[in-house]
Amino acid sequence: MVARRLEREATLVGPASVDGVLYRIADYPGLVPGGTAKVVGDLYRLSDPVRTLAWLDDYEECSPAFPQPWEFRRVLIAVATREGMVDAWTYLYARNVATFQRIEGGDFLA
């Protein structure tokens, strides 16, 4: 449902990567930035960023409607694309990852 809505409200730009580590939290990934490993994913251009980011924040439970501390936080970070570096809104995992499995290769869908 979320993926379908995002497809309606955004245009796929292409693959992107960021320095960081990806963890399997449950049936979803959690990105922790930094380090020398790469995390890969897809970059989207939002047709209405304010509206789309509002419902995505609700989905990720990091909007003002949810009590803190949040599991995720949305930040603007530089990501690498085929055309170079661009700033992109990204949801970062905001809790301790010590008990979670690292996703080697940084690709949750691989």
Residues above pLDDT 70, as percent of the chain = 100
Predicted TM-score (pTM) of the model is 0.93
What is the total count of domains within the chain?
A: 1
Q: Express each pLDDT in 61-71 by its tens digit.
A: 999 999 999 99
* Averaged pLDDT, 53-66: 97
d(CA 76, CA 88): 5
Whether 34 is in a domain gets the answer yes
| Residue 9, domain extent | 2-97
Among residues 17, 14, 40, 35, which one has the least CA distance to residue 103?
40
Check whether 1 has a pLDDT greater than 90: no
CATH number at 78 reads 3.10.490.10
